[in-house]
C-alpha cells in the first residue's frame, strides 16, 4: 500500500505545494500572489484544504489568518516524488531511471557529483555483502 505522501497531485496542487515549500509556510494570500494566472481566493483556500486532508499540509491559525506548512521536509517530498516517477516509468528496471538521469546530465556532472555517486555505490555494495 502506498503511503499518504505518494499520492499524485493535480498540476495546480503541485504548484501550490511548490509555493508553500519555497516559503516554508504560507497563507492563502501568500500562495495566490505567487501563482501564475491565480484562481480565486476561495479556490486556493479550497485546494489548500484538500492538500491538508491528503496529509501534505498542516494548518495553523495565526490570528484570523490560517497558515499552511508542509508536513514533510523538502528532502522527503523530493524522494517521494522521485519514487512516484520511478514507479510510473521505470517499474520494471529502476536502475534505468538512474542511468537515464546520469546520461542526460553527464556533461554537467562535477568531480564532486561523481564522487558522491561513487560513494553511494560503495555504500550499496557494502550493505549487500
Cα 122 to Cα 128: distance, rounded to the nearest angstrom: 10
pTM: 0.64
Q: What is the pLDDT along the chain (129 residues), one digit of tens a residue?
A: 344 444 578 899 989 999 999 999 999 999 999 999 999 999 999 999 999 999 999 999 877 789 999 998 888 888 887 888 888 889 888 888 888 888 888 888 899 999 999 999 999 999 988
pLDDT of residue 2: 41
pLDDT at residue 32 in the model? 97
Expressed in percent and rounded to 5, the helix, strand and coil fractions of the chain are: 65, 10, 25
The predicted pLDDT at position 67 comes to 96
- Residue 1 has a pLDDT of 34
- At residue 9, the pLDDT reads 82
List domains and CATH numbers for the chain.
4-70 (1.10.10.10)
Q: What pLDDT sits at residue 69? A: 95
Cell 555505490 appears where? 121
What is the structure's pLDDT at 101?
85
For residues 19 and 31, the answer to whether their CB atoms sit within 8 Å is yes
Amino acid at each position: 500500500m502506498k503511503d499518504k505522501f505518494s499520492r499524485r497531485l493535480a498540476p495546480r496542487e503541485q504548484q501550490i505545494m511548490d509555493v508553500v515549500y519555497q516559503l516554508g509556510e504560507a497563507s492563502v494570500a501568500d500562495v495566490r500572489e505567487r501563482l501564475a494566472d491565480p484562481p480565486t481566493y476561495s479556490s486556493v483556500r479550497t485546494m489548500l484544504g484538500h492538500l491538508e486532508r491528503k496529509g501534505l499540509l498542516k494548518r495553523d491559525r495565526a490570528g484570523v489568518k490560517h497558515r499552511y506548512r508542509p508536513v514533510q521536509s523538502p528532502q522527503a517530498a523530493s524522494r517521494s516524488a522521485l519514487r512516484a516517477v520511478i514507479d510510473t516509468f521505470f517499474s520494471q528496471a529502476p536502475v534505468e531511471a538512474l542511468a537515464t538521469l546520469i546520461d542526460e546530465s553527464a556533461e554537467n556532472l562535477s568531480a564532486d557529483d561523481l564522487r558522491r555517486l561513487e560513494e553511494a555505490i560503495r555504500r550499496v555494495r557494502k550493505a549487500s555483502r
